[in-house]
């Protein structure tokens, strides 16, 4: 099932995508794609609905019908750094002995096609296509063998990053990761049964038609079940929390010479079976 949130910013309604690519409204069945609606029993109830009987939402998704972030009321936006062997190599860094954890502030979360804003004074705003994992059933100290029971679904994330703030301005990575608009999420939340082998999904990102990233989740060092278990040792995970699992090579910082976003560009990115995002890059006022 492909769950989504449609409508103007701050007024998104719950919905799903039918087999013909139309949006069906779920407002009569859940308040939002958030919280308790992401629990396994709630997802099962939604899957059991007669899709053809659900109201059709006017418009074409990602055209004249805006899609918001595919999950609402996210409490934690947890990210994993240097989790692709080939990306670590392009960064000139060793694969870390344990997963590197940092955070994006939830105010960074935007819809999949909303504008990305380069912060004032930024010279090194960069891109990263990533596989997002959305927690359904919460928990702490989750066993790796049980980790997938806690997953509501997967989505595309663009882990937009300001490298000077992240690396050169002292402190933790969070400073360069959580700027407003730095977390496009969606277009939809795809339940695990429709994703298939999440360890072998093709993924790519283009800027103005030039493909910079062209990788696969197959080169992920620490896999999804391990990441869920690992994160849950340091924090409880709740429904709607997002874990963004790292990026393959091809980021702007890794180009020779480096390439960064200045404003005016268009980013497009996708993960196999999870949809496409498109963002216009603008500069802060």
Can you give the pLDDT at residue 86? 79
Distance CA 258, CA 268 (A): 19
Q: How many C-alpha atoms does 135 have within 13 Å on its Cβ side?
A: 30
HSE toward the beta carbon, residue 176, CA cutoff 13 A: 22
What value does the mean pLDDT take over residues 169-193?
95
CA end-to-end span of the chain, whole Å?
39
Percentage of the chain beyond pLDDT 70 is 100
Q: What is the pLDDT of residue 194?
A: 97
β-bridge partners, 79: 102, 244
Mean model confidence pLDDT for the chain: 96
**Burial class of 145 by CB neighbour count within 10 A (0 to 12, 13 to 18, 19+):** exposed
Q: Which residues of 216-233 are buried (b: 16+ CB within 10 A; e: fewer)?
A: bbebbbbebbebbbbbbe
| Per-residue model confidence (pLDDT) at position 139 | 98
Across 124-152, average pLDDT: 98
Percent of the chain with pLDDT over 90: 94
- pLDDT tens digits, one per residue of 201-211: 999 999 999 99
> Does an H or E element contain 175, and which?
helix 174-177
Tens digits of residue pLDDT in 56-94? 999 999 999 999 999 999 999 999 998 998 777 777 778
Cα 246 from Cα 129, distance rounded (Å)? 8
What is the value of pTM for the model shown? Answer: 0.96
| Amino acid 171: pLDDT | 80
Longest dimension (CA), the chain: 55
Domains and their CATH numbers in the chain: 72-283 (3.90.850.10)
């Amino acid at each position: 099932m492909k769950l989504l949130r449609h409508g103007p910013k701050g007024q998104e309604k719950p919905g799903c995508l039918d087999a013909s690519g139309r949006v069906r409204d779920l407002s009569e069945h859940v308040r939002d794609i958030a919280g308790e609606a992401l629990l396994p029993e709630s997802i099962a109830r939604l899957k059991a609905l007669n899709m053809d009987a659900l109201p059709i939402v006017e418009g074409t998704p990602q055209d004249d019908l805006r899609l918001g972030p595919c999950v609402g009321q996210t409490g934690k936006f947890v990210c994993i750094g240097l989790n692709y062997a080939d990306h670590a190599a392009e960064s000139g860094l060793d694969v870390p002995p344990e997963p590197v954890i940092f955070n994006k502030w939830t105010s960074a979360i935007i819809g999949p096609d909303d504008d990305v804003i380069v912060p004032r004074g930024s010279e090194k705003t960069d891109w990263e296509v990533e596989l997002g994992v959305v927690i359904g059933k919460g928990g702490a100290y989750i066993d790796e063998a049980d980790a997938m029971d806690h997953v509501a679904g997967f989505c595309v994330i663009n882990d937009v990053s300001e490298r000077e703030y992240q690396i050169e301005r002292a402190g933790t990575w969070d400073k360069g990761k959580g700027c407003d608009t730095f977390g496009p999420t969606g277009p939809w939340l795809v339940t695990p049964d429709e994703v298939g082998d999440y360890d072998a999904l093709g993924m790519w990102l283009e800027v103005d038609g030039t493909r910079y990233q062209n990788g696969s989740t197959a080169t992920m060092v620490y896999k999804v079940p391990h990441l869920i278990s690992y994160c849950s040792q340091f924090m409880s995970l709740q429904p709607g929390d997002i874990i963004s699992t790292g990026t393959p090579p091809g980021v702007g910082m890794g180009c020779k010479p480096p390439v960064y976003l200045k404003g005016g560009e268009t980013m497009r990115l996708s993960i196999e079976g999870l949809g496409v995002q498109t963002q216009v890059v603008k500069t802060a006022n």
